[in-house]
Amino acid sequence: MTSAPVPTQDQAELAARLSEIDERISDAARRAGRDVGELTRIVVTKFHPASLVRDLRAIGVQEVGENRQQELSSKQAALADLDVRWHFIGQGQTNKAAAIRRSADAVHSVDRQKFADALHRAAEGDDVLDVLVQINLTDDAARGGVAPAEAAALAEHVLTLPSLRLRGVMAVAPLDEEPASAFARLRSTADEVRTVDPSATWISAGMTGDFAEAIAAGATHLRIGSAITGPRPDRG
Ligand SMILES: *Cc1c(COP(=O)(O)O)cnc(C)c1O
C-alpha cells in the first residue's frame, strides 16, 4: 500500500500561511469591488532554498518570483521538472540579460532601453518574453525604475523589439509615503502606458505590507514574499 507523504510541520505551516494570505487577498478584492480571478499571486522565494519552491508547488503555487539572476538561474535549473512560471523582479544588469532570459518567463524590471535591448538580443529562436516597465515612485533616481514621465517612451521602445511582449508596469511603494497615494501614481502611469499599447494591462504591485492597498489601486500581479514563506534566511 502506498500513501501520500505526511507533510512536515514546516510544510503544514507553509500551507496555513498561504491560505491565510489567499483569504486576505480575496477580502481585499471584495472590498475593492474586484474579481479575485483578475489577480495573480506571485510568491517571492528569494534567499530561500529551491526545496521551498518544490514545497510551494506541491500546495498549488505556480508563479514564483526571484530578484537575483544567479539565484533565479540556479533554482530554475534545479527545478526544471516543475511546472512553475519564474518572474524576475530584481534590478537587471545588461551583462546578465541572457542568463535572465534563459530562466525567466517574465521580467518585471525593465528600467532602461539598454536592458530591454540586451534582453531582446538574447532571444533564441522565436520565443517571446513577457516584460513590464518598472516605474520609480520615489524621488531617488538610484532606486530601480524609470520616472513616471518617462514610462511611455520606454514602453514605445519595448514595442520596437519583437522578441519582447510588453505586459504592463511594475513598482515598489516608497517607504516614506502612504502606499495608496504611491499606487495611485502607478495607476495613472499604467493608464498612460496602455495608450501606447492597449494590451499592456498588467500592474505588478503589492508586497507583504501593502498588497491590500495595491489591490484597491488596480494591481493585477501581487509579489508576496515573507508573509507566505516566513522570514528570509539571513544572507549576512
Ligand atoms: C522581496 C520583494 C518582494 C516581496 O517582499 P515581501 O515584503 O517579503 O512580501 C516583492 N517585490 C520585490 C521587487 C522584492 O524584491
Instruction: Give pLDDT tens digits for 84-134.
Output: 999 999 999 999 999 999 999 999 999 999 999 999 999 999 999 999 999
Better-predicted residue by pLDDT, 5 or 226: 226
Flag whether 234 is in a domain: no
The tens digit of pLDDT for each residue in 182-225 reads 999 999 999 999 999 999 999 999 999 999 999 999 999 999 99
- Count of structural domains, the chain: 1
In a domain, 199, yes or no: yes
pLDDT at 226: 97
* Within-domain flag for 179: yes
225 is a domain residue: yes
State the chain's maximal CA–CA distance in angstroms: 64
**Rounded to 5 degrees, what are φ and ψ at 57?**
-60, -35
| Host domain of residue 39 | 9-91+102-229
The mean per-residue pLDDT over the stretch 28-50 comes to 98
**pLDDT score recorded for residue 223:** 98
Q: Quick check: is 149 in a domain?
A: yes
The SS3 assignment for 155 reads helix
Q: Could you give the angle at the alpha carbon of 51 between the alpha carbons of 220 and 63, nearest 5°?
A: 15
The answer to whether position 235 is within a domain reads no
- Band (2; pLDDT cuts 50, 70, 90): low
The percent of residues above 70 in pLDDT, for the chain, comes to 98
Is the CB of 44 within 6 Å of ligand 1?
Answer: yes
pLDDT, mean over the chain: 96
* Nearest alpha carbon, ligand 1 atom 13: 89
Residue ranges of alpha helices (H) inside the chain are: 9-31, 50-58, 69-78, 97-103, 113-121, 151-159, 179-196, 211-216, 226-229
Residue 130 falls inside a structural domain = yes
- For the residues 38-46, what does the mean pLDDT come to? 98
Q: Is 67 in the pocket of ligand 1 (CB under 6 A)?
A: yes
Q: Which residues pair with 202 in a beta bridge?
A: 168
Strands 221-224 and 63-66: what pairing?
Answer: unpaired
Minimum CA distance residue for ligand 1 atom 15: 67
> 48: part of which helix (H) or strand (E)?
none
State the cell numbers at 164: 519582447
CATH number of the domain where residue 136 is located = 3.20.20.10
The answer to whether residue 134 sits within a structural domain is yes
